[in-house]
């Protein structure tokens, strides 16, 4: 294979590291720049562990680069929803009539590490950590990074922004007047809490995605391989019933005893987690176009971040990588054609999942608890 041009990827998260694998396999020299230190050498930020529901769309992408078995070895299949009503008991709603279909709970950090290892093992891939993109000239491909040693400049032939919801690449395109964007934040945020193992075993059924639907708030819990559960509480960020309304340990404990009574005995560090873990924001990013001049492109959350209620953001980012690879196939690696084609092919899908994710919030926090829903509907998603 002849050596192809150099591609620069900004962001070594899920999309960026998987994309590096796909492009290296096509014969490209790929340079990835990531603002964080190497996550394989450190610990995750408190309250930002995030475990993902990985479904068939994401698995398909991993299968194409031979990583699906390695990733699934660290995942736990969830065969349905376990709904926890406030009055006690639980109600299992399988994802398929036979109970055979599952989505997979996986730590975002563990998944990212597998992808980073896979990318680095391929010839032609170089990853520089602690390089934060702060400048981009779209016409010339000149990039400026902040590093611990000071400012660094490089010029790239192709620049792909896989730098997440707050994308600096998108920000630079916006600043140069070649892109428009809209950011719609929910007035809801999220906070992580933990249910540890009890006597070395899972405190709840490990093969389910647990949901506590409470109308204006909702909590979910996904199992981890160490037999703990990561819970994510979704609640408004301000107002009389919101994250801002609980200040003291006593108020926190009382709130959970009233609304999540079955969780209190299972979460001994509840108050400490609540007080110290951050509240994350939730929003939808829309922007257009996703490329400029056939030279700079956006994908994953950088192009179309969505709220997490359909469990499809990472799956969608992985699907982007597969589609971009297909567009390169179909255009004989002509980036000036492949990047606009990618935008055409993915835009309607991204808009559809953005709307479905918002609609699924209402379903998860309200409708899964209704008797009609329980009796009448088999669900296909989180």
Task: Indicate which single residue of 78, 119, 291, 301 sits in contact with ligand FAD (rule: CB under 6 A).
Answer: 301
Say whether residue 12 binds ligand FAD (CB under 6 A). Answer: yes
CB of 160 to ligand FAD, least distance (A): 11
Q: Give dist(CA 360, CA 307) in Å, integer.
A: 10
DSSP-assigned beta bridge partners for residue 6: 29
CB of 87 to ligand FAD, least distance (A): 27
End-to-end CA distance of the chain: 43
Choices 27-35, 69-77, 253-261, 359-367 (CB under 6 A): range interacting with ligand FAD:
27-35
Phi, psi at residue 2, to the nearest 5°? -75, 150
Task: Indicate which single residue of 4, 35, 292, 346 sits in contact with ligand FAD (rule: CB under 6 A).
Answer: 35
Q: Tokens 């009233």 sit at which residue?
A: 258
Contact string (CB under 6 A) for ligand FAD, positions 141-180, x = contact? ---------------------xxx---x------------
Q: Give dist(CA 50, CA 109) in Å, integer.
A: 8
Compute how many other C-beta atoms are within 10 angstroms of the C-beta atom of residue 226: 9
Name all contacts of 61-66 with Cβ < 8 Å and 24+ positions apart: 61/18, 61/318, 61/319, 61/321, 61/322, 62/18, 62/318, 64/22, 64/322, 64/325, 65/18, 65/21, 65/22, 65/25, 65/118
Q: Residue 45 in 3-state DSSP?
A: coil
Say whether residue 325 binds ligand FAD (CB under 6 A). Answer: no
Q: Give dist(CA 332, CA 328) in Å, integer.
A: 6
Q: Tokens 């930002």 sit at which residue?
A: 48
Nearest to 365 by CA among 213, 210, 188: 213
Task: Indicate which single residue of 22, 33, 202, 335 sits in contact with ligand FAD (rule: CB under 6 A).
Answer: 33
Say whether residue 15 binds ligand FAD (CB under 6 A). Answer: yes
Contact string (CB under 6 A) for ligand FAD, positions 81-120, x = contact? ---------------------------x------------
Our CB check for ligand FAD shows the closer of 159 and 246 to be: 159
Q: How many residues bind ligand FAD (CB under 6 A)?
A: 34
Say whether residue 193 binds ligand FAD (CB under 6 A). Answer: no
Say whether residue 313 binds ligand FAD (CB under 6 A). Answer: yes
Q: Give dist(CA 85, CA 94) in Å, integer.
A: 17
CB of 312 to ligand FAD, least distance (A): 5
Give the residue at shortest CB distance from ligand FAD: 13
Structure tokens at 212: 């506590």
Say whether residue 8 binds ligand FAD (CB under 6 A). Answer: no
CB of 214 to ligand FAD, least distance (A): 17
Compute how many other C-beta atoms are within 10 angstroms of the C-beta atom of residue 108: 18
Our CB check for ligand FAD shows the closer of 148 and 249 to be: 148
Q: Counting beta carbons within 10 angstroms of the beta carbon of residue 43, is it exposed (0 to 12), middle (13 to 18) or buried (19 or more)?
A: exposed
Name all contacts of 245-248 with Cβ < 8 Å and 24+ positions apart: 246/274
CB of 209 to ligand FAD, least distance (A): 9
Q: Give dist(CA 144, CA 137) in Å, integer.
A: 9
Asked if 22 and 45 touch (Cβ cutoff 8 Å), the reply is no
Task: Indicate which single residue of 80, 297, 308, 340 sits in contact with ligand FAD (rule: CB under 6 A).
Answer: 308
Contact string (CB under 6 A) for ligand FAD, positions 43-82, x = contact? -------x-xx-----------------------------
Asked if 196 and 203 touch (Cβ cutoff 8 Å), the reply is yes
CB of 353 to ligand FAD, least distance (A): 10
Our CB check for ligand FAD shows the closer of 23 and 89 to be: 23
Our CB check for ligand FAD shows the closer of 165 and 327 to be: 165
Choices 200-208, 287-295, 308-316, 355-363 (CB under 6 A): range interacting with ligand FAD:
308-316
Say whether residue 223 binds ligand FAD (CB under 6 A). Answer: no
Which residue ranges make up the site for ligand FAD (CB under 6 A)?
A: 10-16, 33-36, 50, 52-53, 108, 132-133, 162-164, 168, 190, 232, 280, 300-302, 308, 311-315, 317
């Amino acid at each position: 294979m002849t050596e192809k041009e150099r591609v620069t990827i900004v962001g070594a998260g899920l999309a960026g590291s998987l994309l590096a694998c796909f492009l290296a396999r096509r014969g490209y020299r790929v340079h990835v720049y990531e603002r964080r230190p190497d996550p394989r050498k450190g610990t995750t930020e408190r309250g930002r562990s995030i475990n993902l529901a990985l479904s068939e769309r994401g698995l398909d992408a991993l299968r194409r680069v031979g990583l699906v078995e390695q990733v699934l070895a660290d995942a736990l299949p969830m065969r349905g929803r376990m709904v926890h009503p406030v009055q006690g008991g639980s109600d299992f709603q399988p994802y398929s009539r036979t109970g055979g279909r599952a989505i997979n709970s996986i730590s975002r950090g563990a998944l990212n590490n597998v992808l980073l290892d896979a990318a680095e093992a391929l010839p032609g891939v170089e990853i520089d950590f602690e390089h934060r993109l702060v400048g981009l000239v779209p016409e010339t491909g000149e990039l400026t990074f902040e590093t611990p040693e000071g400012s660094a400049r490089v010029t790239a032939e192709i620049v792909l922004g896989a730098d997440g919801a707050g994308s600096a690449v998108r920000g630079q395109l916006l600043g140069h007047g070649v892109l428009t964007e809209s950011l719609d934040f929910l007035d809801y945020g999220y906070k992580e809490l933990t249910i540890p193992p009890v006597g070395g075993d899972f405190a709840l059924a490990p093969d389910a995605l647990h949901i506590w639907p409470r109308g204006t708030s909702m909590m979910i819990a996904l199992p981890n391989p160490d037999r703990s559960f990561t819970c994510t509480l979704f609640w408004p960020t301000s107002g009389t019933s919101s994250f801002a309304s609980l200040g003291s340990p006593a108020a926190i404990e009382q709130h959970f005893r009233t609304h999540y009574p079955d969780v209190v005995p299972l979460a001994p560090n509840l108050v400490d987690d609540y007080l110290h873990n951050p509240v994350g924001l939730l929003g939808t990013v829309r922007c257009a176009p996703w490329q400029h001049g056939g030279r700079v492109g956006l994908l994953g959350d950088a192009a179309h971040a969505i709220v997490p209620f359909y469990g499809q953001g990472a799956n969608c980012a992985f699907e982007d990588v597969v589609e971009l690879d297909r567009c390169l196939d179909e255009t004989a690696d002509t980036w000036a054609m492949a990047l606009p084609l990618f935008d055409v092919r993915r835009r309607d899908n991204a808009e559809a999942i953005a709307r479905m994710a918002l609609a699924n919030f209402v379903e998860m926090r309200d409708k899964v608890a209704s008797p009609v829903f329980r009796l009448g509907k088999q669900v296909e998603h989180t």
